[in-house]
Every structure is written in C-alpha cells, then in structure tokens.
Amino acid sequence: MHVTRLKYVAILIVMGLCASTAQAVKPPLNRDTLTEGRRIYEQACAWCHGIGGEGDGPAGWFIGRYSSPRPRNFVKDGYKLRSTASGELPTDQDLFKVITRGIPGVMPSYRSLNEQERWQVIAYLKSWNPAFKEEQPVPLTFPSGPQGPTEAGIQNGRNLYVKYDCRVCHGDNGEGDGPEATAGHLRDTYELPIRATKLTDPSSFKNGASPQDIFRTLMTGMDGTPMPAYANEFAGQEEALWELVWYLRSLSGQEGS
C-alpha cells in the first residue's frame, strides 16, 4: 500500500469535501431526529422495508418475487453498498449515497427528501441495529487511478478477469451468463436465486458505474451475495485492479475515466 499512498490524497480531499457539505445539515442524534426519521420512514420506506425495518413491507415481496433481492432487513442484514471492508457496516455517507441515488430497478432515488430528512431517516434505520452503536465503520481508502486505460492495460485486465474466475459467474463476455449463473447455483444469504450482473450494462450497477465506483465494489464485495471482495487478492497491487476496472468499462464500450 505504501507505494500508492500519495495517490490517496486526491480521493481523500474529494471525500472530505462531500462529507463536509453533507455533514452541514446532519442533525444531532436525539429524540427529535429519531421522531422525524420515523415519520419519514413510515411514509416513504416502510412499504418495502416494513414498518419494523425487517425487509417485509407489504410491497417488498413483488420486487424479487421468488428471487433476490428482498428489501434490506435493517434489523439484522449486512449491507451491499459500502466503502468499508467486507463484513463491516456501511458508513453514514454510504447510506446517504444509497438513499440519494436509489438502486436501479428496485428502489427509487430519494433526492426528493431534503438532505436533513435523509439524515433523519438514516438515524432512524440505524437505531434498529445495535451494532451501529458499537462499531465505527471506517471507509477503505483507495488510490486514484492511473491517467487512463491503455490497450495493454485492458488486455491485462482481461487476463485478471479470467484468472480470478469472474467468468464463472459473469460469463466470458460479461453477459451475466457464466456457468454458475446459468446453472442456477448463485444464491443470496436468504437462499434466493440471484443473477450475476450483466457487466455490459453499467446502468444496472447498484454501486455506481464510474471507474472509482467499480474499483470500490471490487475491493468491498457485495455482502449477502456471491459477489466476493477482492481486497486481499489485490492488496498492494492496485494498479492491476485498475486494469481490471478498465477492462470492465471496455465491455460496455466505455474507455477512459
């Protein structure tokens, strides 16, 4: 990691900026915040996530029907969309991002709630899971990428795609049709069948489709799904992981950053 330390700086500054603007309206954690959070939650989120946050709202079943995903159970589930290491809780910023952007196909963007309301609802949903009180989730820090992809880099990314068996789930060309996927072996933690993302369609990426987003997804994995975290495999080899990112981008004809 020491090699790329300098490259963290840019990212950290950007993250710091985001944090401070969003933090500006983040209300203190008190009774009023929770009461407001609850009101918003019950009018906006409970339809899918359930009034008690258990992911069993009256509309939630139809989203996946007999397959994944179900709305998140805030009482006991882990989280998919994080900047933290696999197995950890998300940061407040991560939650803020999900609620702001929504999740393609299954959950709308809540830009229509003002920022303060989004923070209030976050405080409320965190109150269900005691682990949020005990742990202080820390985001992994990521180096910024090299200037842009090279022909050779993309080729190397392709080799990594093969080497790390991404093909087994996502298919040889990223169409989501790998042998594990077509055989129906992929399951989420609830044993519900889950599809391997079609990597040629970045608009369906839940965690964002910018190079930085994809890099983060590969480092953190998507907890609760078969999508592994590759932080260990690529520890100290971030350059190589970037090449894999560029390769994934090239699958949908996107080059550069």
Residues that bind other proteins (CB under 8 A): 40, 42-48, 50-52, 54, 56-63, 65-67, 102, 104-113, 201, 203-204
97 interface partner picked from other proteins, ligand HEC, none, CB below 5 to 8 A per type: none
27 interface partner picked from ligand HEC, other proteins, none, CB below 5 to 8 A per type: none
The single residue listed with the structure tokens 């963290």 is 8
Distance CA 128, CA 73 (A): 10
What is the CB neighbour count within 10 angstroms for residue 248?
Answer: 27
Q: Cβ closer to other proteins: 45 or 245?
A: 45
In sequence order, the 6+-apart residues with CB closer than 8 A to the CB of 32 are none
188's tokens: 């989420």
Q: Are 115 and 22 in contact (CB under 8 A)?
A: yes
Is 126 a binding residue for ligand HEC by CB under 6 A? The answer is no
Is 207 a binding residue for ligand HEC by CB under 6 A? The answer is yes
Distance CA 234, CA 241 (A): 6
Distance CA 19, CA 36 (A): 22
Is 214 a binding residue for ligand HEC by CB under 6 A? The answer is yes
Distance CA 199, CA 202 (A): 6
8 interface partner picked from other proteins, ligand HEC, none, CB below 5 to 8 A per type: none
Q: Which of positions 234-253 make contact with ligand HEC (CB under 6 A)?
A: 244, 248
Task: Tell me the angle at which helices 92-101 and 5-23 cross, rounded to the nearest 10 degrees.
Answer: 70
Q: Cβ closer to ligand HEC: 9 or 157?
A: 157
33 interface partner picked from other proteins, ligand HEC, none, CB below 5 to 8 A per type: none
Distance CA 150, CA 152 (A): 5
Of 245, 208, 212, 226, nearest to 140 by C-alpha is 212
Q: Residues 53, 69, 137, 149: which binds ligand HEC (CB under 6 A)?
A: 69
Is 83 a binding residue for ligand HEC by CB under 6 A? The answer is no
Q: How far is the CB of 186 from other proteins (least distance, A)?
A: 15
> Which residues are near ligand HEC by CB under 6 A?
44-45, 47-49, 63, 69, 71-72, 79-81, 90, 95, 98-99, 103, 106-107, 110, 121, 125, 164-166, 168-170, 180, 186, 194, 196-197, 199, 205-207, 214, 217-218, 222, 225-228, 230, 244, 248
